[in-house]
Structure 1
Amino acid sequence: MLAPLRHAAFRHLAAGRLVNMLGNGVAPIALAFAVLDLTGSVRDLGLVVGARSLMTVLFVLVGGVVADRIPRRLVLVGSNLLGASTQAAVAALVLTGAATVPLLLALAAVNGIVSALSQPASAAATPQTVPPELIQSANAILRLGVNGGMIGGAALGGLLVAAVGPGWGLAVDAIAFAVAAAAFAGLRVAVPPQTRAGGGVVADLREGWTEFTARTWVWVVVLGFMVLNGALAGGVNVLGPTVADDTVGRGAWGVVLAAETAGMLVGGLIALRLRVRRLLRLGVACMLAASLLLLGLALAPLTVVLIPAAVAAGIAVEQFAVAWDTSIAQHVPADRLARVYSYDMLGSWVAIPIGQVGVGPVAAALGTRGTLLILATLVLLSVLGMLASPDVRRLTTVAPGRSVAGAPPDQPVATHPPTPPDPVQAGAGGG
């Protein structure tokens, strides 16, 4: 189960992603309460977090092309150094009392571009750091490390916000970006040979779109997560802190988010050992539990209710994440993988800024509880819609060592080239 850790490139990738998630566990809590302390407005909070998400959506296709054209190590190092700079600037503004909503909007937008550049590269690097038969184990190990970082980050974020204020949480995120850049500097990821001498950006995007649309199960799941992610982003990221301020408190909200990540950690351990022929079907079905945290916030915003709901949701998310990354890695050619991930991310994320910005006015009109119940219903309907597709239900994983080159797009295809020897060797896409 731990065989992927024998590969140096995989160890560097795992370390960088773990540190990234440590900072990312702190940042949402710190930023949310920094804006609430500044203006007390849910609308302003939605605008700031929505600006970051919007820029990520707008630039993620560019990130996919870049990651398929130049060494992914350079993309990851450069984007993390830029992220360290922007978060340090946000922290300095908050700590000195100079923060304003327009400044936070601008820096959030830059951070969104950073995310758009780094995420396709990170996701597409994973299959080329280990042999094909280790892809599922590698994805599970990555998710375990990522969620371990998120557990510590979320708990630390809640404590920092409650004890010394949100500015210090943002400073920790800046440091995490810098440390992650150092880890990624040791990652040697080759440029896939077919794109090294490729055509223009438009031709690259067209080729990626062809790969994306050729597989029905890919675009069906992406459409489902377009709705699901928009609902969760508005309900958990925006309304969650607002409900927490009026009920369980800021420190307890940090514990709830940490509990969700703890559930992901448990889910990662399950996924590491799990061997299911129809892995994607199981992963999608598990996402029914993602509605539990929204229902808890709406009907019983108590710590004793929210923590179990968050754990269950975390386990569900992890089963889907490993199933999705494994399915994509086994069915898409390595030289086009970052672009397929970028279309996946674009479709999955496009509704996130809509949910984040729009949930405030909707809650003002319908009430917070009614809005959360509507969002929970949307999550349930999106999962049932994905399961209604026969392609999602019937997709099978590739047996280790199987070679079926030339099979149709919706058949299992292990298309990745052999892993080169160290030190030069060629993620969270997902919903």
Structure 2
Amino acid sequence: MTATATTPRTSSATALLVETTPIDDVRQLIPFLDARHPLLWLRKGEGMAGIGEALRLEFSGNDRMRAAAAAWREVVSQASVTDAVGKPGTGLVAFGTFAFADDSTATSVLIVPEFVIGRRDGRSWITRIRPADDADGDGTGTGAQGAGAAASRLPRPTPFGDEYRLTLLPGSLGKEGYRAAVQAAVDRIRHGDLRKVVLARDLTGHLPHESDVRRALVELALGYPECWTFAVDGLVGSSPETLVRVDHGTVSARVLAGTISRGADSVSDHDAAVTLASSTKDQDEHRYAVSSVVDALREHSADLAASDLPFTLKLPNLWHLATDVQGTLSDGSSSLDLVDALHPTAAVAGTPTRDAMDVIHELEPFDRGRYAGPVGWVGGDGDGEWAIALRCAQVSESGDITAYAGAGIVADSVPERELVETTMKFRPVVEAFG
């Protein structure tokens, strides 16, 4: 089914007043978040915590990312920004998450918070964002009374709610079904033009009433500090894969494909890394992923460069094959423009893309929603950081949780091994909520 982009539900014509000011160093961002509706972008203790919603833009269909880029340019053009800090993430920002598939029922969103508490390079700040026609930000008028009411609304850290533990169970695609899907995909690859397809399975659960989602975010941030820990519109996770980063004219990405479990001791762990680095199957899978990113970015960067050989990236539970890509933007594209150009990469779809997407739709009995879609933030200057939404779960308003994990299937894939790989990839979310 082919869908078209919807008009943003909230008018992008809303003029915003934005003010960023420095504050004393804030070492912990997560306590500032709303317990049920957190907005977070965090890595190695630095990033941004968003509180409230000053503006929400919603999109769907095959043009959702392009429509988001256009709507964001309109928002930026009408915003009045005062930024006394000048770091990535200061000034006007929006948190975003996009559906994986064109025909997904999941809404893609850009959310501009009312407040942002941020920390980067040892400097902390607060950004306050409000409609231009609400000069005091509280609707109570001007003067001392208005100023006092506005000050009372400034975000403050709050204690975490009660601890909870839950078990995630097989969802629409159980273990036997996943093995069968992998075998069907291998057969397609061996007898057709398809070279790689990424197949996912799901786990489901339910959060106890009034559970504090921030507890899961703390577990993810502490357990996976090298990853992007995120929370946007109920999508929470810790992704190791940078889809694209734009910073003052420089574009970069980190491509991950090819996975093996960490060893139980230093010797077996070293052996695992060597095994991964020498695996023809994993090298093939990785090559397809790198090619898709380089091909998509090359028209936006004349000096794009990637290493000839991937390196092994160590995470707490896995080794990945990784390649860093970097270049200088030559056409003034924003990070949202590049998100549109890149998605979906071979790391989360396959090669060729259209054939892989057809097989995903056929063999996965569920809508991926925002899993494997872009998640991150964009600034008023178009810069931003976007990850691929991996190692994640979607939490609904009613507390239902759906987690996803996938594996890249190529001609040499073995169904049982791919099942084990997805089990390893579920571990961050399973442990964070369990």
Q: Common fold, TM-score beyond 0.5? A: no
Higher strand share: 2
Question: Normalising to structure 1: TM-score of the pair?
Answer: 0.27
Q: Which has the higher contact order (CA 8 A, sep 6+)?
A: 1
Q: Which has the larger radius of gyration?
A: 2
Higher helix share: 1
